[in-house]
Structure 1
Amino acid sequence: MSKKSVGAKKKTRAIDLPLPDHRFMNRELGWLEFNQRVLEQAEDRSVPLLERAKFLAISGSNLDEFVMVRVGGLKLQFDRNAMVRDAAGLTISQQINAVSSRCHEMVARQYDLLRDVLEPLLADADIRRITFDDCSDRAREVADQRFLADVSAVLSPQAITHDRPFPLLQGLGVHLCVRLRAVSSPVKTTDGAPSPAPNAEGESEGSNPAEAWQFAVIPLGKMVPRLLAMPSERGHDYMLLEDLVTHYIEDFFPGREVMECVAFRITRNADVELQEDGAADLVDGMEEVLESRRLSRVVRLEYSAAASDHVIAFLSEKMQLTNQDLYPIDGPLDLSYLFTLHGLEGFDSLRDEAWVPQSHPAIDPAEGMFSTIAKGDLLLVHPYERFDPIIRLIEEASSDPDVLAIKQVLYRTSKRSPIVAALMRAAERGKYVSVIVELKARFDEARNIEWAREMEQAGVQVIYGIRGLKTHAKVCIIVRRESQGIVRYLHFGTGNYNEATAKIYSDVSLLTCNDTLGADATAFFNAVTGASQPQQLQLLAAAPITLRKRILDLIEAETQRCLEGQKAEIVAKFNALVDTQVIDALYRASQAGVRIRLNIRGVCCLVPGVKGLSENIEVISIVDRFLEHARVIYFRHGGDDELFISSADWMPRNLDRRVELFVPVLDPGCRLRLLQTLRTYFKDNTNSWRMLSSGVYERGQPQKKGKEAFQSQRVLYDQAVEMTRKAKQSRRTTFETHEPKQQEQT
């Protein structure tokens, strides 16, 4: 028997090993581990100060969304069936308890960092949060003017009485709860004598504390800026709106005794989904969902840590909250104000150096996009390379007389989207424009409804996706009539058609006019718009029809090659890895000896590094200045490398409940660059976190291992700069003649 056969036999026995019961991490705790990595960027002293403030703000907004969606969802599940267990074996009750404990720890750490570290450092850098105690005479005059001119006329208190319902408060908005001494006639005792006077706490002996106080609420709203710039001799002084209003709180209640004014914020459950079977019209149905979120139950109450028991008891009773839902905050509520500080002018030295997105070397601004793509496929790595070519492509298509049709999926867009504007212009010029607008894109529903209506008015054929599924694929198809016949120009992406987020999200774009991909993309799009069963696709795979099977087949094929003694490798990059069927397939591949390297930015429910199960699996997470968002997958495939980009993470929702695309990268040059990009992340020892089998993440520390620092995002940007430099140098050393324009033959 040959050595190769012996190895194959041994690996065959390895793959037959049973998979243990507890082989999955809890999804919710895994997500909180990701947010912990974001928070630790804010704690990193090597990160510029305002970038640290930004990361703290991101960790706060991330936690807001987590509580709205995931905690809200857990509470709904608890009401339905508290004994259901997740893949990690935890009941709903156990998950709620674990998540609550972890969230409270995280909030305490956030505010320790803000109060004890960042605010003092910001003050040293002349960015100061001040209160009235810190104000100069000039600043007090400005505060008086601001309150009278901009605040008192806008805000209104709302008294809470037994005959009025508690006001409907906006989720995540900052409010003030005001405790007032009750105004009433003296209550006589049974012997006819007046009741005792209130004590220092406002309560009389034997009285009902609830009758000793009256309460009012002042929503601060969004019309008045949260940060108010104040005059200062140097740098930037600011006051928070709640501090300004609290100082003048008695002006809202003339003749009343104000005992306490407490800032608070509520979080409502946002895990409200459309019941499509009962929605006659999808737009109307989505507007009902938005209204339901506005009215949904409160799942978290944040309040100033200085609040009295009276205020805490009042608010928690009105909102029917438990101690788990209460978050005392020792500092300003809502950390999103730090985003505003990050954008202050005049403090460039406290921010990262600007990385200007580069032009792709193969794209000549003087040449049309159709001509450029016709020369060969283009792979763009954002945000190191500009997103402009995708916008240019659609804008050129809107005015090109040879373009017959544009078909596109829009999941999320920007507020003033140039792509949407170009699509409307194309329709107004008589082109056939079909757009799938996903109205169920969470937290972008209102914007997408507005865009959908505007596009319909411009003559765009708007389709609202598929009943029961979210359309999450990123594809644009441009049908153009050329001398050789119809040519379809395509854009496939891993990110949204949003030029704003394309500057801060790490994504990949593929531009091609490949005939087979064009035919597949058209069949896919028409199946979605026609609500029909898609025909067999040659190169693309689409969820929820073929994508899960395609992924499992590719993993199994790599496993079998390894069992046959061939080299086998899987390298993948996602936002999340949750699907248990895919994870089990990866475990079996690892048991067979396949080397598996995973770059998972957020939740990873797979347990790496377990002997006999996953010792061949490595999991890292990159947290750096850009949000890692691309989905890229590589299979060694016996040396005939296969590379794919995708809109889908490996999660049940993406594989089973969304319309997604899985796109092969066919051009050899594009594949080589994509693979090099994918492998670059695994060299990172600066902003890379390695997942341990315990579920804890360990940060790379080059200085302790005597290695040179390697920051993957920095390297990728430097590579893009160098590619652009070489392309410009090549153009300068190449003589190009001006040719007369060819006359069209009649």
Structure 2
Amino acid sequence: MSAEPRFFNRELSWLEFNQRVLDEARNAANPLLERLKFLAITASNLDEFASVRVGGLKLLCERGASRPDPSGMTPEQQLAAVCARMHAFIVEQYRCLLDELEPALTEAGIRRLRPADLSDRQRKIAELVFEQEVFPILTPIAVPTVADFPPLINQTFNVCVRLAPAPETAEPRFAVIPFGRQRKRFITVPVEQGYGYCPLEDLVGMSVQRFFPGETIEECISFRITRNADLELREELTSDILEEMKEVLAARKESECVRLEISDAASEAVREFLQTALELDDDSVYAIPGPLDLAAFMRLTDSQGFDHLKFEPWPPIPSPQLDPAESLFAAIARRDVLLYHPYESFEPIVRLLEEAADDPEVLAIKQTLYRTSPRSPIIAALKRAAQNGKYVTALVELKARFDEARNIEWATDLERSDVQVIYGVKGLKTHAKICIIVRREPTGIQRYVHFGTGNYNEITSRFYTDASLMTCDEELGADATTFFNAITGYSQPQRFRKLEAAPLGMRDKLLEMIEAEIIRKKHGQRALIMAKFNALSDEKMIEALYAASNEGVKIRLNIRGVCCLRPGVPGLSENITVTSVVDRFLEHSRIVYFHHGGDQRLFISSADWMSRNLDRRVELLVPVEQPQARDRLLAVLKTSLQDDVKARRLLPDGRYESVSRNPRSEPVRSQEALYRRYRDAAEDRARPEFTMFEPHRAPGQDDD
């Protein structure tokens, strides 16, 4: 067996995931504006990583924590390795932008205009925009000493201005111009053909003298700070979760700085001034060789008139299982409905809530809400249902990171509409996605239940892959009610008939299913585990998979992001393969399969295999048993595992490489294959059962 650690480091594994996203930005086979979009996503991802993960490591180091993680690295070692990797990553990001994307964009007609590039006419227009839209809004702040440094807003643009020393002193003088939450990151500049733009900081730099009449300006440098967002709600010390969460949000605005991004044109004097004021070491300062905040370039990807630089549209497909003219209650009563988004539209889930809100036979709606959209039709339906006299209960998770303020706002709005709002489970995050609709029917009370792997958000459902199961199965309905009562009241959790929940029995159920495959393999039977989720870092789950691999159980994993399991190591994990797919949709669904002696067991889940999900969150593991729904879901899982175009395979040393293609079969790009098949099925309603949905196999190719 290898002498290497049994686990990869979680933080470095996440950074390798972001590298795979950057690889798509550098992939010349992708349309140009899609490449720019991938680059913007890497920057947005890195912002969150710096604020949460780097912030957390810094807190551990400040507290003197020295306990190593499963990979054997102490917090201090992790922080050093993470900062080094981030510095190298940023170099590659800007090489991608400046050397690859910008020249190609310029040739295609989308051009970033630097001040030196502007014609007299363009300069006059830029100056007019500054006078009318920028100068009246921005406010310079003098900073006589570092003690006077203003409390800048997290991850917003700022300019540091160095003024000539006053006559009576040789010391430089500094001022800061905060941009605040400016929506306008780029200024449109008229050009003869195509689209021209100028970053706002360049516009300010051109006219910065207007803020300091009579002063000599020696330097004008853009910079950006990241504050620590790893601040948790201390529920054991509060009786009012809503008020405590508001205090956490306020504290986050003033938390310590963990990263400084600064233009590489900055002098040593400006860099030292900012670094001292923000109390940062050298590793936390990132010199940027181009425009700061690459995430803002996402706005350019929607530029009009450049559709040829974007992916072919893949609009969500109406499910062939559902007739738009038929009530969803009737359709679900006939059989379970399994939808897979974004290939299939999220509209039926919205329609189910809207029907329930207006149906006089619906008595109650109970729903968990983790994240949703700003103008959510689901929130509107819940409000209307309450106003129509139905008993509506919404469990709102206030601790959904970075969505806390929005959740507080619409939770308060729901309460004003007579919805009974419950603020999660004390000490846990409620991450399960479930909606129960109680309806009076001629045969008695019937429960209709929706289980999902993703949020109740019709916007993200268009680019996140997620599974939805709508059912009126009696046992699942009873379990759903038991589950909801347990998390909203004081009732002791009862044993479920079919569901499993974290932090109660989900881990044990999964370990039991893995052990069952081991036992079957020991008895000479076929044994196979397949799974798809976003992250795998829990030690116990990984050790169980190692044990299964050592007994000869074949294990095929498709893990988008963090994977701490080391695959393909002789004597440890030689029967485990791990792939990751990064493509135009964000892979988000969680699907788990056990061969189970031929009696196949298939589950969807809200949980990744991380300790936080299994031990510190309220999650659900839901069996998909109805044959047609199960076959559809299994086909999705197999297709994801067969990708040899966008998939990358995790190697024993932690690197990822392209998956080797089978020369005997056509290439499989899983997302494209799934979209084409769902589209074809919708066009041919005579064959809605997806018998043609089986993934393509080369001769002799087996599931193993």
Q: TM-score band (shorter)?
A: over 0.9
8 Å CA contact retained: 2:321, 2:688 = no
Task: Tell me whether 1:713 sits opposite 2:667 in the alignment.
Answer: no
8 Å CA contact retained: 2:681, 2:688 = no
Q: Secondary structure at the match of 2:96?
A: helix
1:440-459 residue CA offsets vs partner (Å, 9 max, x unmatched): 00000000000100000000
8 Å CA contact retained: 1:494, 1:509 = yes
Tell me the distance in 1 between the aligned counterparts of 2:183 and 2:80. Answer: 37
8 Å CA contact retained: 2:486, 2:493 = yes
* Candidates 671, 685, 695, aligned match of 1:727: 685
Aligned residue in 2 for 1:663: 622
8 Å CA contact retained: 2:146, 2:277 = no
Q: Please state how far the C-alpha of 1:21 moved relative to its aligned partner.
A: 7.9
* Candidates 536, 547, 557, aligned match of 1:588: 547
8 Å CA contact retained: 2:52, 2:229 = yes
User: Counterpart amino acid of 1:34?
Assistant: F
Q: Please state how far the C-alpha of 1:637 moved relative to its aligned partner.
A: 0.4
Aligned residue in 2 for 1:742: none
Task: Tell me whether 1:183 sits opposite 2:166 in the alignment.
Answer: yes
TM-score, structure 1 as length reference: 0.91
* Candidates 295, 304, 328, aligned match of 2:287: 328
Aligned residue in 2 for 1:445: 404
Q: Please state how far the C-alpha of 1:706 moved relative to its aligned partner.
A: 7.7
* Candidates 74, 81, 92, aligned match of 1:109: 92
1:137-193 residue CA offsets vs partner (Å, 9 max, x unmatched): 3212211211111010000100001396210001110100000012243x6xxxxxx
Name segments (4+ residues, structure 1) moved above 3 Å.
18-21, 705-708, 728-731
User: Counterpart amino acid of 2:297?
Assistant: L
1:450-474 residue CA offsets vs partner (Å, 9 max, x unmatched): 0100000000000001111000000
User: Counterpart amino acid of 1:288?
Assistant: E
User: Counterpart amino acid of 1:89?
Assistant: G
Q: Cα 1:700–1:571, aligned 2, differ >3 Å: closer, same or farther?
A: same
Q: Cα 1:514–1:346, aligned 2, differ >3 Å: closer, same or farther?
A: same
User: Counterpart amino acid of 2:67?
Assistant: V
Q: Secondary structure at the match of 1:713?
A: helix
* Candidates 418, 436, 449, aligned match of 2:377: 418
Aligned residue in 1 for 2:513: 554
User: Counterpart amino acid of 1:277?
Assistant: E
8 Å CA contact retained: 1:151, 1:224 = no
1:41-91 residue CA offsets vs partner (Å, 9 max, x unmatched): 000000000000000000111011111100100011112233210001111
1:594-652 residue CA offsets vs partner (Å, 9 max, x unmatched): 00000000000001001111110000000000000000000000000000000000000
Q: Please state how far the C-alpha of 1:20 moved relative to its aligned partner.
A: 7.2
Q: Cα 1:223–1:614, aligned 2, differ >3 Å: closer, same or farther?
A: closer
User: Counterpart amino acid of 1:153?
Assistant: P
TM-score, structure 2 as length reference: 0.96
Task: Tell me whether 1:300 sits opposite 2:283 in the alignment.
Answer: no
Tell me the distance in 2 between the aligned counterparts of 1:36 and 1:401. Answer: 52
Task: Tell me whether 1:85 sits opposite 2:68 in the alignment.
Answer: yes
Tell me the distance in 1 between the aligned counterparts of 2:417 and 2:430. Answer: 23
1:169-226 residue CA offsets vs partner (Å, 9 max, x unmatched): 01110100000012243x6xxxxxxxxxxxxxxxxxxxxxxx5211000011224511
Structure 1 range deviating more: 405-414 or 214-223: 214-223
User: Counterpart amino acid of 2:509?
Assistant: R
Aligned residue in 2 for 1:195: none
* Candidates 242, 249, 258, aligned match of 2:208: 249
Aligned residue in 2 for 1:381: 340
Structure 1 range deviating more: 273-282 or 42-51: 273-282
Bigger CA radius of gyration? 1
8 Å CA contact retained: 2:364, 2:390 = yes
Tell me the distance in 2 between the aligned counterparts of 1:65 and 1:272. Answer: 13
Aligned residue in 1 for 2:26: 43
Tell me the distance in 2 between the aligned counterparts of 1:683 and 1:570. Answer: 15
User: Counterpart amino acid of 1:527?
Assistant: A
Tell me the distance in 2 between the aligned counterparts of 1:605 and 1:427. Answer: 45
Task: Tell me whether 1:463 sits opposite 2:419 in the alignment.
Answer: no
Tell me the distance in 1 between the aligned counterparts of 2:537 and 2:587. Answer: 17
Give the RMSD, CA atoms, in angstroms: 1.5
Aligned residue in 2 for 1:430: 389
Q: Cα 1:582–1:729, aligned 2, differ >3 Å: closer, same or farther?
A: closer
Equivalences for 1:204-603 in 2 at 5 Å?
Answer: 211-223=170-182, 225-603=184-562
Q: Please state how far the C-alpha of 1:728 moved relative to its aligned partner.
A: 6.8
Structure 1 range deviating more: 422-431 or 77-86: 77-86
8 Å CA contact retained: 1:479, 1:486 = yes
User: Counterpart amino acid of 2:99?
Assistant: D
1:518-540 residue CA offsets vs partner (Å, 9 max, x unmatched): 00000000110104321111100
Aligned residue in 2 for 1:132: 115
* Candidates 570, 575, 584, aligned match of 1:625: 584
Q: Percent identity?
A: 55
8 Å CA contact retained: 1:150, 1:224 = no
User: Counterpart amino acid of 1:680?
Assistant: T
Tell me the distance in 2 between the aligned counterparts of 1:642 and 1:164. Answer: 62
8 Å CA contact retained: 2:67, 2:74 = yes
User: Counterpart amino acid of 2:92?
Assistant: R
Task: Tell me whether 1:158 sits opposite 2:141 in the alignment.
Answer: yes
Aligned residue in 2 for 1:689: 648
Ranges in structure 1 where 5+ consecutive residues have no aligned partner: 1-17, 188-210, 732-746
Q: Secondary structure at the match of 1:336?
A: helix
Ranges in structure 2 where 5+ consecutive residues have no aligned partner: 690-704
User: Counterpart amino acid of 2:280?
Assistant: L
Tell me the distance in 2 between the aligned counterparts of 1:594 and 1:354. Answer: 40
* Candidates 582, 586, 604, aligned match of 2:563: 604
Q: Please state how far the C-alpha of 1:337 moved relative to its aligned partner.
A: 2.0
Tell me the distance in 1 between the aligned counterparts of 2:15 and 2:182. Answer: 33
* Candidates 577, 597, 609, aligned match of 1:638: 597
Q: Secondary structure at the match of 2:124?
A: helix
8 Å CA contact retained: 1:380, 1:510 = yes
8 Å CA contact retained: 2:320, 2:688 = no
Equivalences for 1:55-74 in 2 at 5 Å?
Answer: 55-74=38-57
User: Counterpart amino acid of 1:535?
Assistant: Q
Tell me the distance in 1 between the aligned counterparts of 2:402 and 2:304. Answer: 30
8 Å CA contact retained: 1:475, 1:490 = yes
8 Å CA contact retained: 1:690, 1:697 = yes
